[in-house]
Amino acid sequence: MTIFLKNKHTLQIDNFYFRCSIGKNGLSKKKVEGDKKTPKGTFRIEHLYYRKDRIKLPKTYLKTIEIKPDMGWSDDINFPSKYNKLIKINKNIHHEKLFRNDYKYDLLIPIKYNFKKSILGKGSCIFIHLTNNYHATAGCIAVQKKDFLIMIKLINKNTRISIY
């Protein structure tokens, strides 16, 4: 199964169409850290991360991981072994905090862009996450909670996302 980004406002999974938002500066085949672009390509997806204190365990075929207060995703090019990986928060390593005060990461799925053998500065922390207003993201793909909950019932660990 493949999730298709049909255009900058639409995700398609089989016969389901979901409104979405993407990176503020559009799509790019040459993504770099901090450019606010969503990477083009076809990628695998990771597990479903969720906030147990806000959302009950959703129905999904994906492996689920509870987001804890000490979890972050490294975007620090000064720590090559940690770059674009889930980490335990360390004040010395720049990261995207997963346990946020807002709702955006109450549900999230990392997109395996620049994932295996990460190239420093090529981009990190590319997620499918939540939105309420469809404002542009820093490079992620965002959908409303009701759509996210439908999406995770349709996809599994073999699902890919195709962004073009």
pLDDT at site 60: 97
CATH of the domain at 159: 2.40.440.10
Total domains in the chain come to 1
pLDDT at site 142: 98
Residue 92: domain span: 2-163
What percentage of the chain carries pLDDT values higher than 90?
99
pLDDT at site 79: 96
Q: Tell me if the pTM is above 0.75.
A: yes
Q: Give the tens place of pLDDT for each residue, 25-36.
A: 999 999 999 999
pLDDT at site 47: 98
DSSP string, 57-105: PPP-SS-EEE--TTEEEE--TT-TTTTTSEEE--TTS-EEESS-SSSTT
The mean pLDDT values, 10 residues at a time, for the chain of 164 residues are 94 96 98 98 98 96 98 97 97 96 98 96 97 97 98 97 96
Q: Which residues of 128-150 are buried (b: 16+ CB within 10 A; e: fewer)?
A: bbbbeeeebbbbbbbbbeebbee
